[in-house]
Structure 1
Amino acid sequence: MDGNRRFAKINKMETNEGHSAGFDTMARLLEICYDCGVEAATVFAFSIENFNRPEYEIEWLMKLAKSKMKQVIEHGELCDRYGIRIRILGNVKLLPHDVRDSLLEAQEMTKNNTRAVLNICCPYTARDDMTHSIKTILAKGYDPEMIDQDLIADNLYTGGIPRLQLLIRTSGVYRLSDFMLWEAVDVDCDIEILSVLWPQFTPTLMLWTLFKWGWNRSSRTRRNDRLLQRHEKDD
């Protein structure tokens, strides 16, 4: 979700106003996703690298995260109504205690919901996730010779959720910025780079992105089926 700060600068807003606009965009787009049948959505809310930003901006982002999770806790019926289970993915021990407690409380309150999942990566980087996976595996007593790709994937923060099929990056930036690097190499994953800044990402554009992804996916399936039928005929 890239572009909050640039959006604020372009519109002569305070940086915190740009982040607030970005959160509102996230809420609208998640609703679209779940209404379209998405089973799991993952948002990159805060990178471990973001701790290198100015202190006032970090403090504001932490307050924003805490206040929004407080809303979930106080009005949990919304998640219950839509059946959304919140999962916090990342190195939470790096967070201030009050923010961490708010995030984990929201996770606990929604743990029995089964319709859909919202993964909140905070604080997260893919490299830290892979490091965490290896440490977890070794802590479980596995012999290094037994470690393979499946075992590493199972012990990532994203272990146990549906495979990544579509990764969206805004602001026209052609890099993943350490987000879901392991998952994104899956042959079944498409990457969509959009030129709009995150707060400019409209529900209409999200619907178009999902439609295009679904159409391309169906086209690939039909093409693969034809190739398979041709191969079977030749045999």
Structure 2
Amino acid sequence: MSSGISQLLEQIHEFSRRCLFRVISVGPLPIHLAFIMDGNRRYAKKRGLEDGSGHKVGFSALMSMLQYCYELGIKYVTIYAFSIDNFRRKPEEVKSLMNLMLEKIKSLLDKESIVHEYGIRVHFIGNFALLSDQVRAAAEEVMEATAKNSRVLLLVCVAYNSTDEIVQAVKKSCTNKLVEHSEGRDRDIERIQLVNIEETMQMRVAPGPDILIRSSGETRRSNFLLWQTGSSQLFSPDALWSEIGLRHLVWTILNFQRSHSYLEKKKKKPL
């Protein structure tokens, strides 16, 4: 009996959500959402849970958020999964997080996972040389397995920070310039243009985020997508990432719609 009631309530909740999304979709929707998933450790401490439990709950929150984005028709979602700076934490904590990351990456390969259910392509961004062989191999396997999916592109920034991405892009641009000059395709060897750097950025696979969401009420960007978020709207709900849910996403999109015309004018304004 209780199982039947739970199923009915779930159906009502899903129907209500779809009706809400249909109303929201009348207005302009963001193409690209980026998330800094802050507060998992604080969530575990707040609830008296063991280390790592907050990140597991946070993973469930991410899966729900991906489902909502799919239902809304949002094409790009970027998450800050692990910063290069996080490697400075205690070795045992880094090892625990890497093991958890490996487990969750492998779970994306399951036929029943949300990635396959919704046709989500997964693309990892970051300095792969800093990852363990197992994590790197799992990430590459997921990218290959989802390469043909096209409904949503999930960009996972791991062993990443923005300054590292920019430095690597500049180095690659200089290398490309030298090659083109040696082959006689570019005589102006001294001039690196903006387009040269943008073409070598790892995040070139997606347009800049319309909205950057950081949970737990923090407003710092923490060296995340500094190049790409110059015109992005910032939103900082007080909820820890493990607590984030549908209402926070809806409120974010409503705020985006309210200021959409201003943001579009700002993007088009010449430098």
TM-score of the aligned structures, taking structure 2 as reference length: 0.76
Q: Please tell me whether residue 74 in structure 1 is matched to residue 102 in structure 2.
A: no
Contact 1:154-1:160 within 8 A present in 2 as well? no
Q: 1:194 maps to what in 2? A: 237
Supply the distance in 2 between the matched residues of 1:46 and 1:22 (Cα, whole angstroms): 13
Contact kept? 1:4, 1:22, Cα under 8 Å: yes
**Alignment-derived partner of residue 230 in structure 1:** none
Structure 2 match to 1:177: 222
Aligned CA RMSD, in angstroms, stands at 1.8
Q: Distance in 2 between matches of 1:144 and 1:44?
A: 36
5+ unaligned residues in a row in structure 2: which ranges? Answer: 1-36, 179-187, 266-271
Q: What is the Cα deviation at residue 90 of structure 1?
A: 0.2
Q: Percent identity?
A: 32
What is the aligned length?
A: 220
Match of 1:227? none
> Is 2:73 the counterpart of 1:37?
yes
Residues 1-235 of structure 1 aligned to structure 2 (within 5 Å): 1-75=37-111, 78-142=114-178, 145-185=190-230, 187=231, 189-218=232-261
SS for the counterpart of 2:121 is strand
Distance verdict in 2 for CA 1:76–1:103, change over 3 Å: farther
1:136/1:204 Cα in 2 relative to 1: closer, same or farther (>3 Å)?
same
Q: Report if the CA contact (8 A) 1:34-1:116 is conserved.
A: yes
TM superposition shift of 1:154: 2.0
Q: What SS does the corresponding residue of 2:103 show, helix, strand or coil?
A: helix
Cα separation, 2, equivalents of 1:176 and 1:77: 30
Letter in 2 for 1:134: V
Alignment check: 8 A CA contact 1:79 1:85 kept = yes
Rounded to whole Å, the distance in 1 between the matches of 2:117 and 2:144 is 16
Kept in 2: contact 1:76–1:109 (CA 8 A): no
Asked if structure 1 preserves the Cα contact closer than 8 Å seen for 2:127 and 2:159, the reply is yes
Q: Deviations over 1:18-48 (max 9, x none)?
A: 1111111111111111211111000000000
Match of 1:231 in 2: none
Secondary structure at the aligned position of 2:108 is classed as helix
Structure 1 residue 84 displacement after superposition: 1.1
- Say which is worse superposed, 48-57 or 142-151, in terms of deviation: 142-151
Q: Check whether the contact 1:171–1:197 (CA below 8 A) recurs between aligned residues.
A: yes
- C-alpha change, 1:47 and 1:220, in structure 2 (3 Å) is closer
Q: For residue 213 of structure 2, give the secondary structure of its aligned residue in structure 1.
A: strand
The alignment partner of 2:122 has SS state of strand
Alpha-carbon contact 1:32-1:207 (below 8 Å) kept = no
**Distance in 2, Cα, partners of 1:150 & 1:170:** 32
Cα distance in 1 for partners of 2:67, 2:261 equals 24
Whole-angstrom distance in 1 between the partners of 2:249 and 2:96: 27
Single out whichever of 167-176 and 39-48 deviates more from structure 2.
167-176
Quote the Cα distance in structure 2 between the aligned partners of 1:37 and 1:218: 20
Aligned counterparts of 1:176 and 1:116: Cα–Cα separation in 2 = 24
Asked if structure 2 preserves the Cα contact closer than 8 Å seen for 1:87 and 1:120, the reply is yes
Q: Which moved more, 1:66-75 or 1:121-130?
A: 66-75
Return the letter of the residue paired with 2:63: A
